[in-house]
Structure 1
């Protein structure tokens, strides 16, 4: 079995992309999705967040929601807003956010290789979220939420994608958030064969975002005994060097029964502490920003605590947890402790200040972003990252290409 496969993609009809594509299902809650879809009858949110078309007290995990998703997808197809390619294709997909651009490949990724860890993971899944994706895929008989994958840098892949993106795009939409989404079809046999061969030569692919979607696809394949179409899952694969990871910052509700001076003294056990007149955005590993009581501080981890050959322990999210959040603030399980919350770097340092200044949180920490090299090292070591270690931007849109099962 090949590592990747072309497929007959289901995508917006010519000129209808702006009406269809929508933010990924897991970045909006039901109320936000309902607002974003208002007045947009063909928005893919009606498929990915179908509870918006049901009474507001409907639980997102009810049978009615999955049935509505299937109904809405079929309605969109019947109305001609979504069309399926007649032959298996690959697709070049470009995301542009400000000055940043990245071009990847839309393909089916092998579930067999996922199961044997050639497509590598770096985080645990939650059963309730995984079950939700299984039920959604099974109900609509399609994979509509792509998994974001990274591949090792391969010039042959870059060249084919560059050539494909010089042709006529079948979709070119700038979404409400300013992100530009552009799609090209790759349907010539030579390019398809070259891409398949180039990926077969790779030792691994890496899940960047979409652990629940890929796990659900694997379960669906087993449920359906690997019938035609279920042996691959919908993915968008970007060269690792093009991907952009933002910082994933922390806010904590209280100082664990300490006053400010006691807290600062405890922090100084492991960090050099320097007040700053401006917000602190760390520019290297081992340096953190801290904001409390209207004041920013620059924290530098003591040098003797920095060296570590363990790929998880050397992450800054791990260092902050090990040397401050756990021993000083008493938070040992960030997955379940409601005293801690996480703020994606896309919200800027102002987002941290806002949470503290409102009185909701007592202290905030800004971090240096996890690198793609770190992510790949953790996955290669068959390890798991701490929760909320990576925040990828720009986000893939739902509805650009979907993968119909057999």
Structure 2
């Protein structure tokens, strides 16, 4: 059963929450990053990008130590303060027609090791060790792992109860995302939330596989070096954002390819015909409306591609995924692309970035062809995990994305 616990968050003072929190570091362009660091002294980016003001370029453990020092300075200046008691935190994020909410808590690494917290991606040992060492030196989690659980009536009632109250934080970012946060400090509510999660047999990692694995790596390392290990130390936990699967949004990644691997357009379409029913939609935009349907943009026209299921065997959860299908029928055998992570001829972009992404990319001349996919469903994701399989890279773009530094969990408490 899942072990989900409250914790004493280190978080910004109410007046500085909008300024202190930040998007994930890798989402910033160099120009935007420079602007934030120059004009916002409260940004969490100053902690994870230490040495900016002094032009110090550090790497490895030296950089990790400076991150820790910068974090302590933010606490010393009361930009961040620690709550006095362990509690849960209810977070809500709204943008246009989407509203996401979830509970910020800590989860136990044993649940990850024992497959109660399940994964759909493999992780790299080198990155596990790198991030594990980073956690060990800096001493905190600042960006939670996104976990999803089966929709739960009691936890839904908790959301309704607290969302009717005045929130601890309420701010809108320059990207028009509205964030609210409530503190769940009622002892009965806290106990009941723990109890509800303890009934759940399986929780799934939606986003943050390497963060989870690095926490497990650190916990193993600390356990080996602690003769008085009890399994209750803070290093056995990692900060998580728990959202019901009914409230999760999964979008697809578009595939953009620079060339046709030596084929002419006519030859390429003939190759596609082996596995797909092809229809030229002309300049009219086409978007797939169900799984096993694909859109393609090439030479100024959109095409619909419908999988010929009699020619493609679907015998497990992985073979049912459109990301696997397009790899097995187009990317690898026709275009010669074997690895999405390393091949420079392909780029994958979330379909949410632009409604005309395929057209713009191909019309620019940088890419020869683009493919749009129907999003993977939560049930498909779970089916892959439950069969102990792994999803191909860039299968899911999952929302919500949380801001770094909204709540911080100290590993060395």
- Using the size of structure 1 for normalisation, the TM-score is 0.94
Q: 2: CA distance between counterparts of 1:227 and 1:110? A: 9
What is the alpha-carbon root mean square deviation over aligned residues?
A: 1.9
- Is contact 1:286–1:306 with CA below 8 Å preserved after alignment? no
Shift of 1:306: 6.2
Instruction: Report 1:4-403 matches (<5 A).
Output: 4-28=4-28, 32-50=32-50, 52-53=52-53, 55=55, 58=57, 61-225=59-223, 226=231, 228-276=233-281, 277-305=283-311, 308-403=314-409
Secondary structure of 1:388's partner?
coil
What is the distance in 2 between the residues matched to 1:44 and 1:83? 13
Query: Do 2:358 and 2:370's aligned partners in 1 also have CA atoms closer than 8 Å?
Result: yes
Could you tell me how far 1:309 is from its partner in structure 2? 4.1
1:230 is paired with a residue whose SS is: helix
Contact 2:128 2:217 survives alignment (8 Å): no
Answer whether contact 2:89 2:181 (CA < 8 A) is retained.
Answer: yes
Question: Which digits, 9 at most, give the CA deviation of each residue in 1:221-264, with x for residues without a partner?
Answer: 11222562111100000000111111111111110111111111
Relative to structure 2, which stretch is displaced further, 298-307 or 217-226?
298-307
CA distance in 1: counterparts of 2:97 and 2:34, whole angstroms:
31
Q: Distance in 1 between matches of 2:153 and 2:194?
A: 14
* Cα-to-partner distance string for 1:324-368 (whole Å, 9 max, x where unaligned): 111111112222222111011121242222222222211100010
Provide TM-score, normalisation by structure 2.
Answer: 0.93
Q: CA deviation at 1:29?
A: 5.7
Q: How far off its partner does 1:31 sit?
A: 5.6
Q: Partners in 2 of 1:38 and 1:245 — Cα distance?
A: 35
Residues 191/286 of structure 1: CA separation in 2 closer, same or farther (3 Å cut):
same
Please identify runs of 4+ aligned residues in structure 1 that moved more than 6 A.
Answer: none
Whole-angstrom distance in 2 between the partners of 1:301 and 1:41: 53
Q: Judge conservation of contact 1:20–1:43 (CA < 8 Å) in 2.
A: yes
Give a deviation string over 1:73-121, Cα, whole Å, max 9, x none.
1111111111111010001111112111111010101111011110000
For structure 2, list consecutive stretches of 5 or more residues without a partner in the other structure: 224-230
Whether the aligned pair in 2 keeps the contact of 1:30 and 1:49 (CA below 8 Å) is no
The alpha carbon displacement at 1:151 in A equals 0.5
Q: How many corresponding residue pairs?
A: 404
Distance 2:313 2:158 in 1: 40
1:167, distance to aligned residue in structure 2 (A): 1.8
SS at match of 2:107: strand
Query: What is the alpha-carbon distance in structure 1 between the residues aligned to residue 381 and residue 32 of structure 2?
Result: 31
Displacement of 1:126 in angstroms is 2.9
